[in-house]
A and B are shown apart, each in its own frame.
Chain A
Amino acid sequence: MELQAVLMAAGGGSRMTDLTYNTPKPMLPVGNKPLMWYPLNLLERVGFEEVIVITTKEVQKMMSTDPKMKVDVKMKLDVVCIQEDGDMGTADALRHIQQKIKTDILVMSCDLITDVALHEVVDLFRAHNATLAMLMSKAHEFTETVPGQKGKKKTAEQRDFVGVDQSGKRLLFMANEADLEDGLSVRKSIMRKHPRMHIKTGLVDAHLYCLKKAVVDFLTENKSISSIRGELVPYLVRKQFSKTTDSPKMKDDAEDQTQKKNDSSTNHELLISSRDEPLLQLAQERSCWNDHHGDMSEAYHGGKLRCYVHIMDQGLCYRVNTLAAFIEANRLAPKLFEEPAVHPSAVISERCQMGSDSIIGALCQVADKTSIKRSTIGNSTTVKEKVKVTNSIIMHGVTIEEGCNIQGSVICSNAVIGRGADLKYCLVGNGQRIEPEERGGELAYQTEQPN
């Protein structure tokens, strides 16, 4: 077997607590499908037959009852439950399932919606025998007004500085703004080997990583690393140019362990060579290919640890981890698939005006004289007469009474909007009741949370 897929679905959605305090993030509906259906669908389309899903018990329960997941996902899902307290990072989770991992892995996050040609990332991983291959995309500005944030300014997201070489494929430098105190410093050894480096800041990390099995083994030894994105990836990128990688001496490691404990021992684990290493070496020696020109070193500068990145400039790539991204994803995700906008089981009266980019879920009931434009209506929702829904996201089981006017809002599951309510850019939490004749603008309606 070549690659094992691992889906990380235990995240808490800390940047969109308004939506996730009742529904766990992996099961949030986007285009009337649970969020984690999208990465699973991508894996299935590409040809995977089994996926290891790391998630919480709550999500597992919801998965087994959700009709979309049961019917559409034909792969075998091996669900591993972990505690919900949120202390476990992604790398910790990998350590947890170390026993199940037999080959190289493809780690994905449950909030990734993309139509990338996955073979581009995996081909980099295969062709260059890389230790890490990841996917990044040019970031898009979110233009829609985010509901429920009255006057809240958008906090400046910490930027990521990504350095790639001239071909745009080899990853040379990766750091987050938070880690760089006074400035961006680049080591001389990197500059000597790659004199031309492009540093990009407008990239979104898609959290899709191909990792060698040796990295998982390395994680089990080094328990200090707890997050793939935050710690493991920058570590691997730095280690490419570390001095000890140039001469892998397996036998001396026993002695080195006492002295340079961190460096050499970790290198030994990361650079586990295949059984036919001399043959591979011979093939590389005889091959007249080099990845760079202009200096005297051999291909890859003799380095054994290589990290590659595929930067998408066209196509869809969203990480649904903020409210703005969630709204944007709801707009665009349906365009990925060619499914009918109106679910066949929905009951729509004839005098309803429905725009072409709206979606109606299963078992909905939409009454007369309603107008639904650029919106997503979830399953089992009831929309009564004379309701105007524009630019909004209505989740499952919502009841909207007559005469409401909902604009640019997000209504979570099982909410009830009273008659004649007028909501503009509001966020209504789970199970909330909006009083009739309520006038709301840029408000978030939530219950007080006990925790």
Chain B
Amino acid sequence: MADSGVTEGPDKKEEIDRAKSEGKELTKEEKQRLRKEKKQQKKNKEKKDDKASQESEKEKKPLSSPPPASQPPPQSTTQKAPSAVPAPAPVSVPASEAPVPADKPAKSKAELKAERRARQEAERASKQGKKGETGQQAATSKQKAPPNELQPVVKRLPEHIQVDNPDVLKKLAKKLERQQTPGQVADKQIPLRMDYGYKVSLFSHLHQYSRKAPLTQQVSIPSTVIHPAVVRLGLQYSQGIVTGSNARSVALLHAFKQVIRDYTTPPNEELSRDLVNKLKPYISFLNQCRPLSASMGNAIKYIKKEISNIPSQCKEEEAKSKLLNCIECYINEKIILAAKAIAKSAIEKISDGDVILIYGCSSLVNHILCEAFEKSRKFRVIVVDSRPRLEGREALRRLVQKGISCTYVLISAVSYVLPEVSKVFLGAHALLANGYVMSRVGTSQIALVAKAFNVPVLVCCETYKFCERVQTDSFVSNELDDPDDLIVTRKGKTHLKDWQEVPSLGLLNLVYDVTPPDFVDLVITDLGLGMIPCTSVPVVLRVKNVDQ
């Protein structure tokens, strides 16, 4: 669907494109024409459908971007400025590219102003042109920004949710190639793990790996490219020996400690820069073994920051011991002491005679319950579990070992047991910036049913798991586990053994899901905050960032 205003556009656009490609400087008249066109198009646009123009705008934008990119800045400015600036020309690109019908008597003052503006835009455009952003110019000209209309802002999506795009996969392969420490032979690189099996179409943009094809198959056995501690960690992640966000972060920091201990600065390099480069391939390796969790991401950010903050005159031994110390402090503060603080707050909420429902195995919730039991609170616990992981069994074992009386049900029975439950304690994998809780798949179900029964839901989460990501559904970013885990053998029969051969069958093994803040009554966290509502998470994040 193209507007009438747009039809003029293409012709003029071609003219201008020709002019650009010929390398001519635009005359003053042409510049004026452009401006006048813009104004006209603006009027036309307000009468027509927005979306139609946006569609054509999207098409034209990639068209327009190559020419500006190749042009010397001053020339591309007036072109690019109107073309790429969505704000002043909501009327959109085709419109803006079409020159304004010439207004012959141009005032000298207005002209000068326009020229100044054009020059400023030129500089801005050249800067952004270098960045290579297509059509995104938030900081636009002094021209009045129109009221917010949906502009197709092309944002860069992370690669791990674009698995069905072959270009993205190629980029990833190239990135892994580049990520070797300098001086390594080209064939020794971090391998790319292949996806396995048929992916359900709603989740085909995510990776799905098989546990039987570990990444170590493609790495040489006495691993020289990747530190052995990191290889061991990657194996433990992919085989599920280390699960749970706290355990994964602690294990990661432990491996990094080994790496730092075994690290020697090469000559002519600085520890602060070289060590960070050394860690990059390891992190890619771990990411391929199992996608990084939010807690791991925050831990990595912290370490990288600490490493880059090491002063260059610091001696290697001193620097290394400082880093090791930092890691110890981080674990102590963010995990161990945080657990103590959270337990203290949470115990206030547990009264005698309570029936507490927990889901899966959260190390923090188990810790809280064990502490509460030691402080002689009288309560009983209902452990809810779900396949295929059946993590509830482990939680059950730990609680019963302490002496807490427990009941064990599967998630299908949750609406039967909820009438007797007084509160629900849930652990979290991460708390997102819009107040959503990302946790093991099934948590949102429990929260939903609890809400229906008016049972309070309390989420316990340390602050280092607060994440700046925003997600409102469980589809856009998730983790797909090995689909073969869903295959079970009962009475000697394995019905799903040949599931790959059935063309219309797909097995989906999701790991995480997202719970909206309306279902969560309270978040118990550390850092002296105690109990906060779910919606205060962005505030906490902001304050944390200011502090750091």
Contact = CB atoms under 8 A, between A and B. Distances in A.
B242 A287 contact: yes
A387 B90 CA distance: 93
A288 B361 contact: yes
A157 interface: no
Interface in A91-124: 106, 117-119, 122-123
A127 B222 contact: no
B246 interface: yes
Interface stretch (A140-148, A178-186, A195-203, A274-282): A274-282
Given A127-B232, A288-B363, A283 B250 contact: yes
Contact of A1 (B222, B246, B360): B222
A48 B246 CA distance: 35
Q: Secondary structure at chain B's binding surface: helix, strand, loop or mixed?
A: helix
Contact of A290 (B247, B397, B401): B397
Contacts of B257: 276, 279
B122 interface: no
Interface string A258-294: 0000000000000000011001101111111110010
Contacts of A288: 243-244, 247, 360-361, 363, 391, 394-395
Interface in B240-257: 240-244, 246-248, 250-251, 253-254, 257
A80 interface: no
Interface stretch (B47-55, B212-220, B308-316, B351-359): B212-220
A46 interface: yes
B363 A123 contact: no
Given A46-B221, A289-B240, A282 B250 contact: yes
B439 to A, nearest CB: 13
Given A276-B257, A283-B247, A296-B400, A289 B221 contact: no
A48 B397 contact: no
A451 B500 CA distance: 64
B235 interface: yes
B239 interface: yes
Which of A123, A127, A288 has most B Cβ within 10 Å?
A288
Nearest to A124: B235
B165 interface: no
Given A127-B239, A296-B401, A2 B228 contact: yes
Nearest to A210: B221
A3 interface: yes
Contacts of A296: 397, 400-401
Contacts of A450: none
A126 interface: yes
B223 interface: yes
Contacts of A2: 221-223, 228, 231
A68 interface: no
Nearest to A291: B241
Given A288-B243, A288-B394, A289-B241, A117 B217 contact: yes
A302 interface: no
A117 B219 CA distance: 12
A275 B324 CA distance: 12
B220 A47 contact: yes
Nearest to B327: A279
A128 interface: yes
Given A287-B241, A289-B243, A279 B331 contact: yes
Contacts of B393: 290, 293
Contacts of B222: 1-5, 47-49
Contact of A127 (B220, B241, B247): B241
Interface in A1-50: 1-5, 46-49
Contact of A283 (B231, B251, B401): B251
B254 A283 contact: yes
A276 B250 CA distance: 11
Nearest to A121: B221
B239 A286 contact: no
A49 B400 CA distance: 51
B213 to A, nearest CB: 11
B221 A47 contact: yes
A313 to B, nearest CB: 14
A122 B242 contact: no
A288 B223 CA distance: 28
Contacts of A123: 214, 216, 235
B236 interface: yes
Contacts of A285: 247, 363
B216 A289 contact: no
A3 B220 CA distance: 11
Nearest to B261: A275
Contacts of B235: 123, 126-127
Contact of A119 (B217, B239, B395): B217
B231 A289 contact: no
Nearest to B225: A47
A126 B232 contact: yes
A118 B242 CA distance: 23
Contacts of B258: 276
A122 B216 CA distance: 9
B243 A287 contact: yes
Interface string A408-451: 00000000000000000000000000000000000000000000
B247 A287 contact: yes
Given A47-B222, A48-B222, A279-B331, A119 B246 contact: no
A279 B249 CA distance: 11
Contacts of A1: 222, 224, 228
A126 B243 contact: no
A275 to B, nearest CB: 8
A342 B337 CA distance: 71
A286 B244 contact: yes
Contacts of B239: 127
A170 to B, nearest CB: 13
A279 B330 CA distance: 12
Contacts of B236: 127
Nearest to B236: A127
Contact of A3 (B221, B242, B250, B397): B221
A313 B294 CA distance: 40
Nearest to B246: A286
Contacts of A118: 221
A286 B221 contact: no
A269 to B, nearest CB: 22
Nearest to B252: A283
Contact of B254 (A3, A128, A279, A290): A279
A310 to B, nearest CB: 13
A2 B228 CA distance: 6
Interface string B167-204: 00000000000000000000000000000000000000
A129 B335 CA distance: 24
Nearest to A122: B221
Contacts of A3: 221-222
B384 to A, nearest CB: 14
Interface string A282-323: 111111111001001000000000000000000000000000
Contacts of B219: 47, 119
A119 B221 contact: yes
22 contacts: A5-B222, A46-B220, A47-B222, A48-B220, A106-B221, A123-B214, A126-B216, A126-B232, A127-B241, A276-B254, A276-B258, A279-B253, A282-B331, A282-B335, A284-B247, A286-B246, A286-B250, A286-B363, A288-B243, A288-B394, A289-B240, A289-B241
Interface of B: 214, 216-217, 219-224, 228, 231-232, 235-236, 239-244, 246-248, 250-251, 253-254, 257-258, 261, 331, 335-336, 360-361, 363, 391, 393-395, 397, 400-401
Interface of A: 1-5, 46-49, 106, 117-119, 122-123, 126-129, 275-276, 279-280, 282-290, 293, 296
Given A129-B232, A286-B247, 9 more contacts: A119-B219, A127-B235, A128-B241, A276-B257, A276-B258, A282-B335, A283-B250, A284-B247, A288-B360
Q: Which 9 pairs between the two chains have the least Cβ-Cβ distance?
A: A47-B220, A288-B361, A287-B247, A2-B228, A286-B247, A286-B363, A283-B251, A283-B250, A279-B254
